Structure 1
C-alpha cells in the first residue's frame, strides 16, 4: 500500500534566526506532489509568513509535540536543539544545514546510531551539476553576499557611487572583496551596482575570470590554491602568513573590505589582522562574513556585533546575514529542500540509494550501510498492528 509521506517544518530556535524551512509557495507544490505538510505553529512568523498562509496553501499547523509525533520527514534550516533531537525516533528523517563537518559531526553520529536518518545539505558539493537546485549553501551564500554590500553601504559614512553635484564631486568608494565564491561574487556584483569601484581577491587563480566578468578588478596573489568540491582548501601556516602579509600591504588603499572566506567544518582563515586594521583609514568599514563561534576572517570581530576600533574602523561580525533577509532566504532554501525531497522520495517513501551521488553526499551514515527505505508513519503503524494481531508461532521444541 502506498501512503502519504508527511513532511514537517520546525520553528528555528537559534538566537536571532528568523528563517523557515518551508514557505507557502513551496507547500503548495509539495501538496500537489502528494505530500502531506505540517508546519509547527508560528514557524514562519520571522519570515513574515503567518500560519493562515500555510493553511491556505494546504498545510496543517500544530504544536511541536504533535509535529514530532506525526512527521516522517523533519525539515529545519539549522540543527534543532538537543532536547528536540533527543525526541526523534528511529526511522524519522532529518533534513537541514546540520553542521555535519568538523566538530559538529559527533552530535549527528549519535542520532544516526539511534536509527534517525540524517541528510545534511551542507555536505553537498558544488561540483555536482544535477544538485544545483538543492544547493542550500550556495543559495544562502548568495543572500549573504548581497546583504554584505548593503550592510557595508549603510555603515559607510560616504557615498558608494561617484557623485557630481554643484557642491563638488565625490569619488566612488573603493571596495575590496576577499573570496570569490558564491557570496563574494554576489557582494562584488551588488557593490558594483551601487556604483563602487570594486576589486576581488581569491587564492584560486581560476576565480579571476569570474571576478573580471562582473566588471571588477582582480587583486593578484602569490598564494594559489586549488579548490576541493567547489570550496577552497585550508591554507598551510606558511601560505596563510604570506597571504596576510600581501593583503596587509594592499588593504589600506580601500574604504570597505568584505571578507567571505570559509572552510567547511573548520576555523575560518584570518585575512585581516589587528595590525592591518590599525593601518586602515578612519571611517573604513570591514564586514566579516566568516564571523562565528569558531572565529572569523578579521581579528577581533564578534558574531552579530558592530565594533569600532581605536583608529575609527568599523568591524561588523556578519556570519548569519541571510536571517536579515529571512523572507527571500527562506524562499530560496525551501526550493532547495523541495528539490531534494523530489529526488529522494519514490512511491510515497524516502528511498536512499548510496550509489546515487547526491544521496551519497548528504547522507550522514556509518561507513558500511545498506540502502534505506523510510515508509510513511501510517504504513509502519499498520504493519505493526498486523504483526500484533497475528498468532504467535514458536520454534519447534518450545
Structure 2
C-alpha cells in the first residue's frame, strides 16, 4: 500500500448494532500518525458521537461511496458487506470482527475481490497484543451489562438490607465461566451486594474467583484443565468431567437467584451448561442471563434477543450485549483498532506493516484466496 493511507469508517448496518469503529479520540491519533480518515455520515449517532465531533478531530464526512473511494483500510465493528466496498484500493485491508465461521460466504467474497481481511477477534492473547484485543474489551462490558440486565428483571433487591420492617436477604448469584466476562460479572454482582459463587473448567481460575470475594464451585474428584486452553480460552472437557460438573451444577443451581453463563468455544456452538430439568429446580422469579446466546446458548431454551420464561424462571440472551452500552463499547473498540495500527505503523512505509506472529494469526484472505489455516482445515 502506498503512503498517505486513507482509512474509511462505515456506518454499521447489522440489526441491533449500535457501535462504531472510530471515535474522535482515535481519529485525532490516526491523523497524527499521517493517515487521512473518512467517516460515513451518521456512523456514530447511535454511540452518541455527532458528525461534527469527527470533523473537529480531522475526519472528512461523506456518504458510503465517497468514504470507501480510494480507501487503503476499512474499519468496521462487524465486517462490511462486499457490495459496500466498491472503489477501495486493490489489496485494501478490512479490519473488523469478521465472524468467519458463520459468515464464510462473505470471507470468500472478500478474497474474490482481492481484499485482505483481518479478523480482529482472532487476535492472539499474548502480552503485546492485549491493547488490541477486541474480545477482552467487549467482554468486560458484556459481563457488567449481563448483571445489570438480570438485576433489572429480578424482582428483589441484590444486597442484604436490614430495616425496621425486617431483613432482606442478599441475592445469590452464580457465574458459570470465569473468563473476562465472567470476572467482570463477579465484580459487578459483588459491588451490588450479592452473595456470589462461580465455576469454570480451568482449575487456575479458583484463585481469581477468591480474589474477587466470591466462592469457587469446582468439581473436586475429576481433573479439569490446569491453566488455560489454547489461546487463553477453555477447551472442551471429557465426558467424565462434563457429567461431574452437571451433577455439581444441579445441586448448586437450585439455590441461586441469578445465574450468568459465559462459556464459549471459538468456532463451535456454545456448550450446553444448563438443561431444562435444571431450570425446573430453580425458584420462581429467578433469572438466567445467557451471554452465549449468539452461538446457540449455554441454556436450554435460550432465544437470542428474547426474554422467555420457563418453569417460572426468566431467561435473557442478548445477541450483542456490548451494543447495549454503545458509547463505552465504541470507545474501547476504537482504541483497540488504533492500538493495532499504531503498533505496526512504519513511518518509512507510510502505514502499518504486520509481522508474522500477528499477521498470520488474524489474516483470513490475501492475493485473492483464503489463507488462514483454521478456514482451510
Q: TM-score, normalised by structure 1?
A: 0.86
Contact 1:223 1:243 survives alignment (8 Å): no
Q: Unmatched 5+ residue regions in structure 1?
A: 370-398
Pairwise mapping of residues 168-179 of structure 1 onto structure 2 (< 5 A)? 168-179=166-177
CA distance in 1, matches of 2:84, 2:278: 43
Picking from 187, 197, 200, the partner of 2:198 is 200
Instruction: Give the secondary-structure state (helix, strand or coil) at the position aligned to 1:229.
Output: helix
Aligned to 1:383: none
Instruction: Give the secondary-structure state (helix, strand or coil) at the position aligned to 1:234.
Output: coil
Aligned to 1:307: 308
Aligned to 2:81: 81
CA distance in 1, matches of 2:114, 2:52: 34
Pairwise mapping of residues 236-247 of structure 1 onto structure 2 (< 5 A)? 236-237=238-239, 239-247=241-249
Pairwise mapping of residues 112-261 of structure 1 onto structure 2 (< 5 A)? 112-126=111-125, 128-221=126-219, 222=222, 224-225=224-225, 226-237=228-239, 239-261=241-263
Deviations 1:232-269 (A, max 9, x none): 11335554344333312221111000000011111000
**1:87 Cα shift?**
6.7
CA distance in 1, matches of 2:253, 2:92: 50
CA distance in 1, matches of 2:247, 2:85: 44
Pairwise mapping of residues 238-387 of structure 1 onto structure 2 (< 5 A)? 239-292=241-294, 294-309=295-310, 311-347=311-347, 348-354=350-356, 357-365=357-365
CA distance in 2, matches of 1:15, 1:240: 35
Q: TM-score, normalised by structure 2?
A: 0.91
Cα–Cα, structure 1 residues 279 and 86, in superposed 2: closer, same or farther, change >3 Å? farther
Q: Report the RMSD for the aligned CA atoms in angstroms.
A: 2.1
Deviations 1:133-173 (A, max 9, x none): 10010000000001111111111111100101111110100
Instruction: Tell me the number of residue pairs that the alignment of Structure 1 and Structure 2 aligns.
Output: 363
Instruction: Give the secondary-structure state (helix, strand or coil) at the position aligned to 1:158.
Output: coil
Aligned to 2:375: none
Contact 1:244 1:271 survives alignment (8 Å): yes
Deviations 1:329-372 (A, max 9, x none): 00000000001111233231332332xx2222112246999xxx
Contact 2:11 2:40 survives alignment (8 Å): yes
Cα–Cα, structure 1 residues 264 and 2, in superposed 2: closer, same or farther, change >3 Å? closer
Q: Unmatched 5+ residue regions in structure 2?
A: 370-377
Deviations 1:291-315 (A, max 9, x none): 01x4100111111111112x21000
Aligned to 1:386: none
**1:187 Cα shift?**
0.3
1:9 and 2:9 are equivalent in the alignment? yes
